[in-house]
């Protein structure tokens, strides 16, 4: 009998067998499917937003990383100066002073070298035309005049695209200013940000999590100390070598080597190229000796000095330092090399606290 309007069916017909899945009704299946689809959609949308904002997120991450790395220096200054803002200001002024000192020391030598080069251009031209001189023999063998002409044409073509080059430089400068601003903000507000972050942790595990995070921060700060020490060693050794070889302006060049050595991946090469170029202006023999020195020193720094220093400052083995730098550079380029060693040290701390320590405790019981 077909029920009429308004009548309530007390015993509806049972659903067919195919309408249930694993004992669940169609309504339950629909709810689970809709929830999974909505979750997948939200995750995909979030991943897409992260992809679009990847450049900004990378700048934020670098600024936060640098702030954490500079925190030990700020903490040291706060022992004598209670105000954190003043301590950060003093640290920034010290960095600006160091950069200004470097510029003041390197600009006059550059101008002197340029003036010397311009004055000697007629002599270089005469030697190129004289087969009995070294430059004349090199001209006959390698056709230096044609290569120089090609280089000038390439420079002219590059200058013709000045707009794109200027845009790239302006973009890099803008990114640098953003990173500096973020670093200063994080440095000033780091204790407050850490406190707010700790309050979001579960109460039951807050103490253990805070101890773990503080160890990670200590490793990042230790990495910065080790990196500065490696750069100071590079600058000092370069100064002594350049002084003994007889390269002009050894102090300015050594300071350049120390500063450039802080740049991941390409820093050591930038420092060496400038020194070798200046050395070759002094003569073929000083240039060749300087080139050999920097090739040898880079191998010693990469495989002896850097691993040993990082072993002491962040407690990571020499092999782990080399592997971390190679993997970080492959995955993220210069940023990957920048964070590779502290990331490896942080993973070691996390693995030790969350995986090794509980199993050691179980083994004792």
Under DSSP, is residue 316 helix (H, G, I), strand (E, B) or coil? coil
pLDDT in tens, 107-121: 776 677 667 766 776
How confident is the model at residue 41, as a pLDDT? 92
The whole-angstrom separation of Cα 261 and Cα 233 is 10
Q: Nearest to residue 348, comparing CAs of 233, 189, 227, 216?
A: 216
Task: Give the residue, 295 or 167, on which the prediction is more confident.
Answer: 295
pLDDT score of 293: 93
- What pLDDT shows up at residue 266? 66
Distances (CA, A) of 148 to 239, 276, 291: 31, 19, 22
Kindly report, residue by residue over 75-111, the tens digit of the pLDDT. 888 888 888 889 889 988 988 887 787 777 767 766 7
Report pLDDT digits (tens) over 296-315: 998 888 888 888 887 777 77
Among the listed ranges 19-28, 122-131, 181-190, 272-281, which one has the minimum average pLDDT value? Answer: 19-28
Of 111 and 18, the one with more pLDDT? 111
pLDDT digits (tens, 9 = 90+) for 45-66: 999 998 898 888 888 888 888 8
* Residue 11 pLDDT: 47
Compute the distance between CA of residue 267 and CA of residue 290 in angstroms, rounded to an integer. Answer: 17
Contacts of 353 (CB under 8 A, 6+ apart): 208, 211, 212, 215
The pLDDT score that the predictor gives to residue 14 is: 53
Helix, strand or coil for residue 33?
helix
Model confidence pLDDT, tens digit, residues 160-215: 555 565 667 778 788 888 888 999 999 889 888 888 888 888 887 788 888 888 88
Please report where in the chains the tokens 């803008």 appear, as a residue. 174
- The owner of tokens 């309050």 is 199
Rg (CA), the chain: 31
Burial class (CB in 10 A: 0-12, 13-18, 19+), 138: middle
**Alpha-carbon dihedral 164, 169, 175, 179, rounded to 10 degrees:** 170
Q: What b-and-e string marks burial along 168-205, b requiring 16 or more CB atoms within 10 Å of the CB?
A: eeeeeeeeeeebeebbbebbbebeeebeeeeeeeeeee
Hey, what are 346's tokens? 């942080």
């Amino acid at each position: 009998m077909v029920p009429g309007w308004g009548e309530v069916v007390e015993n509806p017909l049972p659903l067919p067998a195919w309408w249930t899945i694993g004992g669940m009704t169609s309504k339950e299946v629909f709810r689970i499917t809709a929830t999974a689809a909505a979750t997948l959609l939200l995750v995909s949308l979030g991943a897409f937003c992260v992809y679009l904002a990847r450049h900004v997120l990378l700048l934020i991450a670098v600024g936060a990383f640098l702030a954490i790395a500079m925190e030990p220096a700020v903490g040291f200054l706060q022992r004598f100066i209670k105000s954190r803002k003043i301590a950060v200001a003093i640290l920034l002024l010290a960095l600006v002073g160091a950069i200004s000192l470097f510029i003041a020391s390197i600009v006059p030598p550059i101008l002197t070298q340029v003036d010397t080069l311009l004055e000697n251009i007629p002599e270089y031209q005469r030697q190129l035309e004289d087969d009995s001189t070294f430059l004349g023999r090199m001209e006959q063998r390698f056709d230096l005049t044609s290569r120089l002409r090609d280089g000038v044409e390439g420079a002219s073509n590059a200058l013709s695209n000045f707009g794109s080059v200027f845009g790239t430089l302006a973009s890099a400068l803008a990114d640098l200013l953003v990173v500096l601003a973020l670093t200063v903000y994080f440095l000033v507000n780091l204790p407050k940000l850490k406190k707010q972050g700790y309050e979001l942790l579960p109460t039951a595990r807050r103490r253990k999590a805070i101890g773990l995070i503080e160890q990670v921060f200590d490793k990042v700060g230790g990495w910065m100390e080790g990196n500065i020490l490696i750069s100071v060693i590079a600058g000092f050794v370069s100064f002594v070598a350049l002084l003994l070889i007889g390269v002009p302006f050894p102090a300015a060049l050594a300071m350049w080597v120390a500063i450039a050595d802080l740049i991941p991946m390409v820093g050591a090469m930038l420092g060496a190229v400038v020194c070798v170029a200046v050395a070759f202006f002094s003569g073929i023999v000083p240039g060749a000796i300087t080139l050999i020195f920097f090739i040898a020193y880079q191998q010693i720094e990469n495989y002896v000095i850097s691993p040993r220093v990082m072993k002491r400052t962040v407690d990571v083995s020499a092999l782990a330092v080399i592997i971390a730098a190679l993997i970080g550079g492959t995955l993220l380029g210069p940023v990957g090399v920048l964070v590779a060693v502290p990331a490896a040290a942080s993973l070691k701390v996390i693995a030790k606290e969350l995986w090794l320590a509980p199993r050691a405790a179980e083994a004792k019981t």
